[in-house]
Structure 1
Amino acid sequence: MSDHAPPLHADYAPAAPPAALPRPALLLSCVVPAYNEEANLASFVRALAQAAGQLTPQFEIIVVNDGSRDGTHEAALALTREGLPVRYLALSRNFGKEAALSAGIDHARGNAVLLIDADFQHPLAMLPEMHKLWQLGYDMVYGVIADRSAEGGAKRLGTGLFYRLLNSGNRVKVPPHAGDFRWMDRRVVEALKSLPEHHRFMKGLYAWVGFKTAALPFVPQDRAGGQSSFNLRRLGSLALLGLTSFTTIPLRVWSFIGTAVALAALCYGAWITVETLLFGNPLEGWPTLAAGIMLFSGVQLMSIGVLGEYIGRIYDEVKRRPSYLLARDEDHSPLRGESREP
Structure 2
Amino acid sequence: MTDLHAEYAPAAPPAQLPRQPLRLSCVVPAYNEQANIEGFLRALAQTVRALTPDFEIVVVNDGSRDATHELSLRLAQELPLRYLALSRNFGKEAALSAGIDHARGNAVLLIDADFQHPLEMLAEMHELWQSGYEMVYGVIADRAAESGAKRMGTQLFYRVMNSGSSVKMPPNAGDFRWMDRKVVDALKALPENNRFMKGLYAWVGFKTVALPFVPKDRAAGSSSFNLRRLGSLALLGLTSFTTLPLRIWSMVGAGISLLALAYGLWIAIEALFFGNPLRGWPTLAASIMLFSGVQLLSIGILGEYIGRIYEEVKRRPIYLVAHDEDRSPLREHEREPS
TM range (shorter): over 0.9
Relative to structure 1, the CA distance from residue 187 to residue 144 in structure 2 (aligned partners, 3 Å threshold; closer, same or farther) is same
Judge conservation of contact 1:114–1:181 (CA < 8 Å) in 2: yes
Q: Structure 1 residue aligned with 2:196, among 198, 201, 204?
A: 201
Taking only the aligned residue pairs, the percentage that are identical comes to 76
Query: The residue matched to 2:60 in structure 1 has which SS?
Result: strand
Q: Which structure 2 segments of 5+ residues have no match?
A: none
Q: How many Å apart are 1:78 and its aligned residue? A: 1.4
Structure 1: segments with no counterpart, 5+ residues:
none
Where do 1:24-39 residues align within 5 Å?
24-39=20-35
Contact 1:9–1:175 under 8 Å retained in 2 = no
TM-score, scaled to structure 2:
0.96
Deviation at 1:69, TM superposition (A): 1.1
2:329 is the counterpart of 1:330 = no
Retained in 1: the 8 A contact 2:109–2:178? Answer: yes
Matched, 1:103 2:76: no
1:55 equivalent to 2:51? Answer: yes
Q: 1:273 to 1:283 in 2, by over 3 A?
A: closer
Aligned residue pairs: how many? 335
Structure 1 position 13, deviation (Å): 1.6
Counterpart CA distance in 2 for 1:46 and 1:158 is 35
Aligned partner of residue 168 in structure 1, secondary structure: helix
| Aligned mates of 1:159, 1:120 — CA distance in 2 | 22
Residue 198 of structure 1 deviates from its aligned partner by 0.2
CA RMSD of aligned residues (A): 1.6
- Say whether residues 1:278 and 2:267 are aligned partners: no
**Counterpart contact for 2:90–2:319, Cα < 8 Å:** yes
Matches within 5 A, 1:108-123: 108-123=103-118
Q: Tell me the secondary structure at the aligned position of residue 83 of structure 2.
A: strand
Q: What is the rounded CA distance, in whole Å, between the counterparts of 2:101 and 2:322 in structure 1?
A: 15
Q: 1:265 to 1:8 in 2, by over 3 A?
A: farther
Distance of 2:246 and 2:164 partners within structure 1: 13
- 1:18 alignment counterpart: 14
Would the alpha carbon gap of residues 237 and 9 (structure 1) be closer, same or farther in structure 2, given more than 3 Å must change?
Answer: farther
The superposition leaves residues 246-298 of structure 1 with CA deviations (integer Å, 9 ceiling, x where unpaired) of: 00100001011001100110111011111111223435311100000010111
Amino acid at match of 1:229: S
For 1:192-234, what per-residue CA distance to the aligned partner results, in whole angstroms no more than 9, with x for missing partners? Answer: 0000010100000000000000100000000000110000000
The CA deviation at 1:338 is: 4.0
Structure 1 distance, partners of 2:34, 2:255, is 53
C-alpha contact (below 8 Å) 1:44/1:118 kept by paired residues:
yes
Q: State TM-score, norm by structure 1.
A: 0.95
Matched, 1:186 2:181: yes
1:263 corresponds, among 235, 245, 258, to 258
